[in-house]
């Protein structure tokens, strides 16, 4: 089904999760990337969201506020991207933010932002390294798309 938020179906609804839409090969690659990451020890789930806030794929525990988290993750990813550029720190790659009860990881790519929700005692370095590899793969996907 096409995205219900566009007038192609119904311009009046604000919903834009995109969850459940058919996904051919590249979207399959996004899903596989996320699946690999959420299998890491201590990672509870995650999602990939485009800069415009569209959820490409999401694997989060039940009752998790996917839309809200996606909106915040896209906003955070964009701020990290802009800050890296404005401060001449090179392209934004990954970030992690930890709190008393867990950690959020964000990976940046042209396609969008990979966001992971993890436990408090997660191995930060291991997840960050894996996320960096995933981000590199997504960059490759973008280049392939651009060349097509």
Span 35-74, contacts to other proteins by CB under 8 A: 50-54, 56, 64-65, 67-74
Q: How far is the CB of 133 from other proteins (least distance, A)?
A: 13
Q: How far is the CB of 43 from other proteins (least distance, A)?
A: 12
Residues in 91-110 at the binding interface with other proteins, rule: CB under 8 A: 91-104
Give 39 or 88: the residue with its C-beta nearer to other proteins.
88
Structure tokens at 76: 């955070």
Q: How far is the CB of 59 from other proteins (least distance, A)?
A: 14
Helix axes 124-147, 25-38, angle to 10 degrees: 170
Backbone dihedral angles phi then psi of residue 5, each to the nearest 5 degrees: -80, -15
Q: How far is the CB of 18 from other proteins (least distance, A)?
A: 5
Q: How many CB atoms lie within 10 A of CB 4?
A: 17
Among 18, 33, 34, 130, binds other proteins (CB under 8 A): 18
- Classify 89 as helix, strand or coil: coil
Structural contact between residues 94 and 125, judged by C-beta atoms closer than 8 angstroms = no
């Amino acid at each position: 089904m096409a995205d219900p938020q566009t007038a192609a179906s119904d311009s009046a609804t604000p919903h834009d999760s995109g969850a459940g839409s058919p996904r051919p090969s590249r979207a399959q690659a996004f899903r596989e990337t996320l699946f690999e990451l959420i299998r890491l020890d201590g990672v509870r789930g995650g999602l990939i969201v485009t800069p415009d806030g569209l959820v490409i794929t999401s694997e989060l525990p039940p009752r998790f506020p996917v839309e809200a988290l996606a909106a915040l993750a896209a906003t955070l990813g964009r701020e990290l991207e802009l800050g890296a550029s404005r401060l001449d720190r090179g392209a934004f790659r990954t970030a992690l933010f930890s709190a008393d009860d867990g950690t959020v990881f964000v990976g940046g790519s042209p396609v969008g932002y990979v966001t992971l929700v993890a436990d408090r005692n997660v191995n930060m370095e291991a997840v960050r390294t894996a996320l960096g590899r995933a981000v590199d793969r997504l960059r490759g996907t973008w280049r392939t798309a651009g060349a097509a």
